């Protein structure tokens, strides 16, 4: 049987970071990746968390928000349920990880100002890709460079190699996988690092979130890569204790598959970051302060609604305001987003979307979106009265977002809760060692990335308020896992 020092399950950001780090310490590494290509959902992002990085130092931001501040912030937000040493290790490693990636040729940009809804401190380091600049999918560039480094330092990476089982042996572990031809293969390793990502497509694990989420029913997937939960399942089989489990919810998944081009993308961007107007649920009632700046807060409120569904509603006057002046708030993607919604509605409806509605009357709108007309009218009446006096008597939304709905045409957009993926499932310590019952360490077993991200699982809003903390966790704990596994197998 083939024997390796370390086998890594999954080649996303966590797995590749672990591979490079373990090789840098001289350990022999085999990475098994089930898909045809490396990267997992890590190729779809924009950037990652760091604090006291040289970028922040250059702007004196390290004095405004220090490592200690970040540590305190995380522990405060997780009510000290999170293992404090995990927060400390994460925060302390983060600046070095930026330089480690820069050394591979990755370029980062710190944004000029806080630009993401809910971002409280400037922790997001956005990948500035030579091919596509900054924005969605820029982390594909980071993955390219990390993968190239992994190969150049001698890590062996096998794609189309899906791990099906991991068994404990006297030597360490026996890993079973199927290769590209469908043949079953076995490799043994002294240590295993599980970096197999999330579990959103696994109904059993989804139930463990305790939130009643059903993929494609009350929550949509923002990514198109199946998250099977194999890593969590196999770690549990080896005795790993469950840990916090949550989804990386976002209020903004449209569940739409209309053709994305420069124009239609702008409508999506607009809704993503800049739509704090009237929202109603399927019963026709308001349910949230639509102007909340943390997407997770909005998402949590949406998750409580029937089918995780809601409608964004506005009238002709607000539509004209968006066309001439732009929306009231925006993410950095949408700075120049003075758009003609009529034109864009035409395009997305032509493109096959069933989620965009226009009507000459509230009755007609209620009929189209199948919301009880009398409730909708009552909701709008109260909302308009609040707008008139500039005070949201229900949820205290900021005055500047109070725009009445009173002038035809009326517009509605149906939206669903969405999720970038899942977090948590495998309990680890600050060395990324997997924990069993009674705080026992499972020797030679490590985990990192989404499948072990108990930090975000304990407070998903950290995704925004310490922006970049999902990819940040994957990179930093991937490195930590690789380094510690290398020490374990070489000493």
Ligand X SMILES: Cc1cc2nc3c(=O)[nH]c(=O)nc-3n(C[C@H](O)[C@H](O)[C@H](O)COP(=O)(O)OP(=O)(O)OC[C@H]3O[C@@H](n4cnc5c(N)ncnc54)[C@H](O)[C@@H]3O)c2cc1C
Closer by beta carbon to ligand X, 178 or else 368: 178
CB atoms within 10 A of CB 424: 27
CB of 332 to ligand X, least distance (A): 12
Closer by beta carbon to ligand X, 10 or else 284: 10
Structure tokens at 274: 């800049």
Distance CA 434, CA 443 (A): 8
Closer by beta carbon to ligand X, 411 or else 467: 467
425 binds ligand X (CB under 6 A): no
Strand order in the sheet with 246-250: 220-221, 418-423, 246-250
Strand, helix or coil at 469?
helix
Helix (H) or strand (E) run with residue 490 in it: helix 469-490
195 binds ligand X (CB under 6 A): yes
Distance CA 114, CA 455 (A): 22
**55-93 residues labelled b (16+ CB within 10 A) or e (exposed):** bbeeeebbeebebebbbebbbebbeeebbeebbbbbbbb
42 binds ligand X (CB under 6 A): yes
Strand, helix or coil at 429?
coil
Binding segment (CB under 6 A) for ligand X, from list 33-41, 298-306, 376-384, 404-412:
33-41
Considering only residues 393-422, where is the footprint of ligand X by CB under 6 A? 420-421
CB atoms within 10 A of CB 391: 12
Per-residue interface string for the shown chain with ligand X, residues 243-282, x marking contact by CB under 6 A: -----x----------------------------------
Write down the residue that tokens 């302390």 correspond to.
Answer: 92
What stretches of 103-192 show up as alpha helix (H) in DSSP?
139-152
- Residue from the set 172, 284, 295, 468 that interacts with ligand X by CB under 6 A: 468
Per-residue interface string for the shown chain with ligand X, residues 205-234, x marking contact by CB under 6 A: -----------------xx----x-x----
98 binds ligand X (CB under 6 A): no
**286 and 379 Cβ atoms separated by less than 8 Å:** yes
Helix (H) or strand (E) run with residue 18 in it: helix 13-24
CB of 398 to ligand X, least distance (A): 26
Residue 445 main-chain phi, psi, to 5 deg: -115, 125
CB of 237 to ligand X, least distance (A): 13
Closer by beta carbon to ligand X, 275 or else 473: 473
447 binds ligand X (CB under 6 A): no
45 binds ligand X (CB under 6 A): yes
- Residue from the set 29, 162, 445, 480 that interacts with ligand X by CB under 6 A: 162
**167 and 36 Cβ atoms separated by less than 8 Å:** no
- Residue from the set 4, 6, 7, 10 that interacts with ligand X by CB under 6 A: 10
Residues engaged in binding ligand X (CB under 6 A): 9-15, 32-35, 40-42, 44-48, 162-163, 195-197, 222-223, 228, 230, 248, 420-421, 449-450, 468-472, 474
């Amino acid at each position: 049987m083939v024997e390796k020092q370390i086998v890594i399950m999954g080649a996303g950001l966590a797995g590749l970071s672990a591979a490079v780090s373990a090789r840098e310490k001289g350990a022999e590494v085999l990475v098994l990746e089930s898909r045809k290509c490396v990267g997992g959902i890590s190729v779809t992002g924009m950037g990652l968390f760091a604090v006291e990085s040289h970028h922040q130092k250059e702007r004196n931001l390290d004095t405004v928000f220090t490592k200690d501040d970040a540590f305190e912030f995380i522990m405060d937000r997780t009510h000290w349920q999170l293992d404090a040493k995990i927060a400390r290790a994460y925060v302390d490693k983060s600046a070095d990880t930026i330089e480690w990636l820069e050394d591979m040729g990755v370029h980062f940009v710190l944004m000029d100002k806080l630009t993401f809804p809910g971002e409280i401190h400037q922790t997001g380091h956005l990948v500035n890709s030579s091919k596509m600049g900054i924005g969605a999918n820029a982390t594909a560039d980071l993955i390219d460079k990390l993968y190239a480094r992994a190969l150049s330092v001698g890590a062996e990476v096998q794609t189309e190699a899906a791990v099906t089982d991991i068994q404990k042996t006297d030597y360490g572990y026996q890993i079973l996988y199927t290769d590209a031809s469908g043949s079953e293969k076995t490799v043994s390793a002294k240590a295993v690092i599980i970096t197999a990502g999330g579990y959103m497509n696994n109904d059993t694990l989804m139930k463990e979130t305790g939130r009643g989420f059903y993929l494609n029913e009350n929550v949509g997937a923002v990514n198109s890569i199946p998250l099977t939960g194999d890593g969590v399942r196999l770690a549990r089989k080896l005795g790993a204790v469950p840990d916090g489990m949550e989804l990386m919810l976002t209020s903004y998944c449209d569940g739409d598959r209309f053709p994305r081009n420069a124009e239609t993308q702008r409508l999506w961007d607009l809704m993503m970051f800049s739509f704090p107007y009237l929202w109603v649920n399927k019963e026709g009632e308001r349910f949230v302060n639509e102007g909340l700046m943390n997407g997770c807060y909005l998402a949590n409120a949406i998750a409580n609604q029937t089918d995780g569904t809601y409608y964004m509603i506005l009238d002709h006057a607000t539509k004209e305001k968006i066309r001439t002046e732009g929306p009231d708030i925006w993410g950095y993607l949408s700075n120049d987003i003075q758009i003609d919604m009529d034109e864009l509605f035409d395009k997305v409806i032509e493109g096959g979307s069933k989620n965009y509605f226009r009507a000459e009357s509230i009755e007609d709108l209620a009929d189209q979106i199948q919301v009880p007309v009398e409730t909708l009218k009552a909701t709008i009446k109260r909302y308009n009265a609040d707008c008139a006096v500039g005070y949201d008597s229900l949820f205290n939304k900021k005055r500047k977002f109070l725009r009445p709905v009173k002038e035809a045409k009326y517009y509605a957009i149906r939206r669903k809760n969405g999720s970038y993926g899942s977090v948590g499932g495998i309990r680890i310590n600050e060395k990324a060692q997997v924990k069993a019952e009674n705080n026992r360490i499972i020797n030679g077993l490590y985990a990192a990335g989404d499948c072990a991200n108990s930090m975000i699982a304990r407070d998903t809003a950290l995704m925004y308020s310490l922006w970049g903390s999902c990819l940040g966790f994957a990179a930093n704990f991937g490195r930590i896992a690789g380094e510690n596994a290398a020490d374990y197998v070489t000493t």
